[in-house]
A and B are shown apart, each in its own frame.
Chain A
Amino acid sequence: DGGITQSPKYLFRKEGQNVTLSCEQNLNHDAMYWYRQDPGQGLRLIYYSQIVNDFQKGDIAEGYSVSREKKESFPLTVTSAQKNPTAFYLCASRGQGDRSGNTIYFGEGSWLTVV
C-alpha cells in the first residue's frame, strides 16, 4: 500500500544525545515536511523540502537538522541543541499536479520523550 511510514513510534532520548526520526514515503511525492505538535496545540513547521537535495527551514528549525538525499526519505535529527524536544513529530508529503490537487498525506507520528 502507498503511504508514509514514520519510525520509531516511540523514542526516548537522554540529555545531550542526538536522535534521528525516520520518514519514508512511496507516493512518489516531491515535497516533504516535518512538523512538531505539543499537547493541545497545533502543528508547527520545522523543515520542508520541495525536491531532492534541497530543504528549507520552517518556523522552529533551531536544534533540528534534516537531509533529503533520496526522494523517498526525509529523516529528521533532533540535536542536543534542542532544549525542549519532548513532543509528537509528524512527517507529511505532498504530490504536485496529482488528481487530488496537492493533497497532503501524513504519517502516524513519532513520540519523542527526553529522560
Chain B
Amino acid sequence: KQEVTQIPAALSVPEGENLVLNCSFTDSAIYNLQWFRQDPGKGLTSLLLIQSSQREQTSGRLNASLDKSSGRSTLYIAASQPGDSATYLCAALGSGSARQLTFGSGTQLTVLP
C-alpha cells in the first residue's frame, strides 16, 4: 500500500526566502505526482503535476522535482511572499489499474511579512 509522507509538517519563514518542501513515497510505481495548495476551509488547487517520466516541472516561482528511484519529490518556492501562506499537499497517482491517489498530510507554510 502506498504511503506518502511530507516533512516538515509546518514551516514559518520570513518573506523573500527560498524554501523547499519535501514529499516521499514508498511505492515507486506511480503514474504521476501532483502538488496542491489548500487555503483554510477551501478545496485543493493544483499547482504542478510531474509525470513519472519527467524529472521536474516549473510554473512561475514554483519548481517541482521528482526522483522515482528514491521515492522523493520536492517543491521549491522562490522568493516567498505572504500570499504563499497555505497548506501544501503532494499526492501520488498509482500506476496500477485502480489508479488510486494517495495524499501526504501536508506542510503548513506561513510566510511572515
Contacts and interface: CB of A to CB of B under 8 A. Distances in A.
B106 A42 contact: yes
A106 B100 contact: no
Contact of A41 (B44, B93, B101, B105): B105
B91 A104 contact: yes
Contacts of B100: 45, 48, 58
Contacts of A48: 100-101
B34 A43 contact: no
Nearest to A48: B100
A95 to B, nearest CB: 12
A43 B103 contact: yes
B89 A107 contact: no
A48 B98 CA distance: 9
B32 interface: yes
Contact of A31 (B91, B99, B104): B99
A90 B31 CA distance: 22
A48 B93 CA distance: 13
Contact of B46 (A35, A41, A56, A104): A104
B49 interface: yes
Given A90-B43, A104-B34, 6 more contacts: A43-B89, A48-B100, A101-B51, A102-B93, A103-B49, A104-B101
Interface of B: 31-32, 34, 36, 41-46, 49, 51, 89, 91, 93, 98-106
The 4 closest A-B pairs by CB, nearest first: A42-B105, A106-B43, A106-B44, A43-B103
